[in-house]
Amino acid sequence: MADAPAHHMFILLGPVDKSKNHLPDILCVIQVCLEGQISRESVLKSLRDGRQPHGDQIPWKFSEQFRDTVFPSLSGARIVRIAVHPSAMKLGYGSIAVDLLTRYYEGQLTSIDAIDGEKEDEETHPVSVTEAAEKVSLLEETVKPRSDLPHLLVHLSERRPEKLHYIGVSFGLTLNLFRFWRKHKFAPFYICQIPNGVTGEHTCMVIKPLTNDDIEASGSDEWGFFSPFYQDFRRRFARFLGSSFKAMECKLAMSVLNPEINFTKSEPAAENELLNGVLSPHDLNRLEAYTRRLVDFNMILDLLPILAHQYFGEKLRVALSPVQASLLLCMGLQNQDITYVKGQLNLNRSDILVLLIKIMQKFYKYLHKVAAKEIESALPRLKKVEMLPHSISLDDELNAAAKQVMGKMKAESEGLLNQKFCSVMQLWAKKLPLRKL
């Protein structure tokens, strides 16, 4: 620690009695390592060479997973370890320490006066390492008690925090540990597919974006700039559940995937893309037959992975209970059989089959509604006639039409009279002899 300036210690102390001359109780200690601020050239070289330098675990792993060159340039802090006093275990001191650490790096615990005073001290008393080295050498220094030593601990309200963009953690994946970090709004971006040879645990890395004005977030959710990367991780993890994480405990897989099961906050999915290229009419017929208990569940086993990926991808907007979602994850994503599900969910075979039928009934009802909408949209429709109000009254329109008809009739009658007069004159001309004048 003395030779690692990037490592900091944050200590949660018990109540301090200033009237007594003794040290307060140490309740919790957090070791933090500052990471990031890696140049883009170094990141490109690392991606090109296919190797990761030592240190900066989270930035390098993030860059490797997403082939991203921007994230390593951000500043972050990695929590190396959290130690709680043995007599204060499971009393919430670790959670309090993590919350205070987050608030500290977001600038909520440091007053503006303390920051200004620290800036003035740095300007009036600049530190010169060369000058200090010239004055005192380790071989010449006299070791003796000193009375002007600085305080071993500094209150967070008196120290200016580093400007960070995120806090991260790397740990061996267990259900209790993951739930602890999830409770504090940390989200995973990497889980090693190969378990540790000693502990049998998968290495997991999680981060929590901090409130910062340097980055423009594309979304409005709680994850900020990390949101698209987190969604990409969830899609990849769902695909790996059928292979690398097939033996993962169901509860742990559900906690990592963190699916939306009631869809009260989800955006509407593109329903017209749900059936095209995913399910055929014959698939829907088999699904309908199973929901009516006409065929065995083996007839729709091939549809379980398809429906599970659509559901956990938030494209099937169907509300399921936690037990139903867990069953669908085990049989649809992990491709496990009923015997495995019995041990994971502590259910009987008959209960599992009943739950499976209820799930398929909800899916078929939703898919049937989507298919009906597609058929309705494909039917020909009559052209919509727009009824606009008349610009004149009905009496005026009738009078105008009557005048028009009367004028037309008068013109026709005059034409007939002219034709009759001409024909009569022609007859007279033929009968009367011509006389010479």
HSE-up (13 A, CA, CB side) for residue 321: 6
Q: What is the mean pLDDT of the chain?
A: 83
294 and 227 together in one domain: no
Pick the last residue of a domain from 347, 372, 397: 372
9-43 burial, b if ≥16 CB within 10 A, otherwise e? ebebeeeeeeeeeeeeeebbbbbbbbbbebeeebb
90 and 165 together in one domain: yes
183 and 44 together in one domain: yes
Residue with tokens 């009658």: 413
The least confident of 72-81, 272-281, 292-301 is 272-281
Strand runs (DSSP E) across 210-369, as ranges?
none
79 and 199 together in one domain: yes
Cα 308 from Cα 334, distance rounded (Å):
10
The pLDDT, as a whole number, for residue 44 is: 87
Q: Is residue 108 part of a domain?
A: yes
Pick the last residue of a domain from 372, 397, 415: 372
The pLDDT, as a whole number, for residue 217 is: 59
> 186, 77 in Cβ contact below 8 A?
no
Q: Is residue 208 part of a domain?
A: yes
Q: Is residue 333 part of a domain?
A: yes
User: Of residues 137 and 25, which shows the higher confidence score?
Assistant: 25
> 327, 341 in Cβ contact below 8 A?
yes
224 and 265 together in one domain: no
Pick the last residue of a domain from 346, 372, 398: 372
224 and 296 together in one domain: no
204 and 329 together in one domain: no
CATH of the domain at 98: 3.40.630.30
Q: Is residue 383 part of a domain?
A: no
Cα 404 from Cα 417, distance rounded (Å):
20
364 and 289 together in one domain: yes
Classify 413 in phi/psi space as left (phi over 0), alpha (psi -120 to 50) or beta: alpha
Q: Is residue 128 part of a domain?
A: no
Mean pLDDT computed over 382-404: 72
Q: Which residues contact 89 (CB under 8 A, 6 or more apart)?
A: none
> Is the per-residue pLDDT at 182 higher than 60?
yes
Please report which confidence band the pLDDT of residue 127 belongs to, taking 50, 70 and 90 as the band edges: very low
The pLDDT, as a whole number, for residue 109 is: 86
344 and 227 together in one domain: no
Share of the chain above pLDDT 70, in %: 77
Over the stretch 40-49, which tens digit does the pLDDT of each residue have? 898 888 888 8
Over the stretch 308-340, which tens digit does the pLDDT of each residue have? 999 998 888 899 999 999 999 999 999 999 999
> 222, 198 in Cβ contact below 8 A?
no
Q: Is residue 18 part of a domain?
A: yes
Please report which confidence band the pLDDT of residue 427 belongs to, taking 50, 70 and 90 as the band edges: low
89 and 34 together in one domain: yes
| Domain ranges, residue 336 | 259-372
Most confident of 145-149, 299-303, 406-410: 299-303
The pLDDT, as a whole number, for residue 295 is: 93
The pLDDT, as a whole number, for residue 65 is: 93
Q: What is the CA radius of gyration of the chain?
A: 40
> Is the per-residue pLDDT at 426 higher than 70?
no
Q: Which residues contact 134 (CB under 8 A, 6 or more apart)?
A: none
Domain count, the chain: 2
Q: Is residue 436 part of a domain?
A: no
220 and 268 together in one domain: no
Q: How many CB atoms lie within 10 A of CB 192?
A: 15
Share of the chain above pLDDT 90, in %: 50
Q: Nearest-5° angle of CA 56, CA 181, CA 105?
A: 60
Q: Is residue 362 part of a domain?
A: yes
H or E element: which one contains 78? strand 75-84
How many residues does the structure list for the chain? Answer: 437
Mean pLDDT computed over 394-401: 76
162 and 68 together in one domain: yes
Please report which confidence band the pLDDT of residue 141 belongs to, taking 50, 70 and 90 as the band edges: low
